Amino acid sequence: MPDQGAGEGLFGAIFGRGSLGTDTAWLEALLDAEAALARAVERAGLAPAGAGEQVTAAAQAADFDVAQLGELAALTGNPVPGLARELARKVPASARRVVHRGATSQDIMDTAAMLLAARTIDAVIRDVTTAADATAGLAAAHRGTLMIGRTLLQQAVPVTFGLVAAGWLTALDDSRAGLESLRAARLAVQFGGAAGTLASLGEDGPRVAALFAEECGLALPTVPWHTDRLRIIDVGSGLARVAAALGKIARDVTLLAQSEVGELHEGIPGDAPAGAPRRGGSSAMPNKSNPVAAISLLGCTRQVPGLLATLTACAEQELQRAAGSWHAEWEPFTALLRVTSSAAVWGSELLSGLTVDSQRMAANLAATEGMPLAEHVASLLAGVLGAAEAHDLVAVAGERALGAGLPLRDVLLGVSDFADRLTAAGVTPEQIEAALEPAGYLGASDVFIDAALAAHMKGEGDG
């Protein structure tokens, strides 16, 4: 089967947008690791001058056959031996001894995995930054846009869409900060030789390892980590945090974009040419406009927990080289890179084009007829009636309002059983009216929005 690059294949445009999780990307990373090692060996004085550059010049992915390397991998359990042999054949005889010098297959595979992770993380950070910047704009523009809050999928107290966006923003910023920390500290080369001792390089082993790390642009670990898979789990966890932040946003969008709610709508990117299929369409219903970006994003993020679980399960590895668990990492690790980077692309597009229907938000809030403000009314009455009596009075009034199809205000002020008790307690109609005003019961919403925006401007996140 031919290599399916990012965005190619039947599902590539959904799950492989901007992805580096392909066979070609793996091949490039493997060759980059071999070339970096050759340069490190030369810098250490263990190879003729120019040998490292000769290997680097030969390490071009376009000159290698992925399918052939895949067939050879079945003979050795991984693709590195076949790759190293083929690379050695492509360099001058004087440079052949430097190819794969001192390394074992896992050194190249694990280092390539770290290079792939670094490249993917860099791309994800860029897309999450775009998404976060767009979300900050939504939080600032809609700090006063009232809407009904919803808890357990039921109407709660009023909030603002600005506060909703601020919550999205802090999660995006925190997940990005975590990736930045991971990128700086946890992506390390692997170089231990046959059993983690670098015995074949003698005293030069540690020096070559340090130079190898420099050439790769990765950290130098304290010791080789052949069967210590915490770095792999850390990459998975960092990407899973991004997926969680993006997935929460996408789920909110799908809920708020429902026809019966209609408070958010996806923007349509660009102007489609006449006759071209439109985004959001249905094969059966011409009227449909589905939130495709949010749905596709969720299609990516829903795969992440299972992939991370597999990587975690693979961390139990035997002695100095795992018999199967290491091999079992490769595909879920690749898939995790692929779907998370795709989710980040979808997220940046979704949030950059999100349309807020403030009028629909206001209408949905008004349709609640004051019921979400019951807590505010009870708080007002607690000062004069006591908390328990105030709670019971408002609860009964709410039941009466719902049963009669009346606003809560009309029951509290128009039904003598309640109006007389309020008057006797010294509570005025004006106080009840004020307590039923949604804009007066937003608590610290503005403070929270300001804090989220300030942290975003400073590039802060909990990591």
- Please report the domains of the chain, with CATH numbers, ordered by start residue: 12-267+287-359 (1.20.200.10), 371-435 (1.10.40)
List, for residues 246-270, the tens digit of each pLDDT value: 999 999 999 999 999 999 999 865 4
| Contact call for residues 242 and 179 (beta carbons, < 8 A) | yes
Q: Give 416's pLDDT tier (boundaries 50, 70, 90).
A: confident
* pLDDT, position 1: 32
Nearest by Cα to 36 from 116, 86, 108: 108
Distance (Å, whole) CA 57 – CA 280: 46
Tens-digit pLDDT profile for residues 69-79: 999 999 999 99
Residues designated as active site: 282, 321
pTM of the model: 0.90
Amino acid 268: pLDDT: 62
pLDDT of amino acid 192: 95
Q: Report pLDDT for 284.
A: 44
Q: What is the pLDDT of residue 462?
A: 62
Please say whether the beta carbons of 374 and 394 come within 8 A. yes
Instruction: Tell which residue, 374, 364, 407, 367, has the closest CA to residue 146.
Output: 364
What distance in Å separates the CA atoms of residue 187 and residue 240, rounded to the nearest whole number?
Answer: 16
Distance between CA 452 and CA 442 in Å, rounded?
16
Residue 29 near residue 38 (C-beta atoms within 8 A) = no
Query: pLDDT value at position 461?
Result: 66
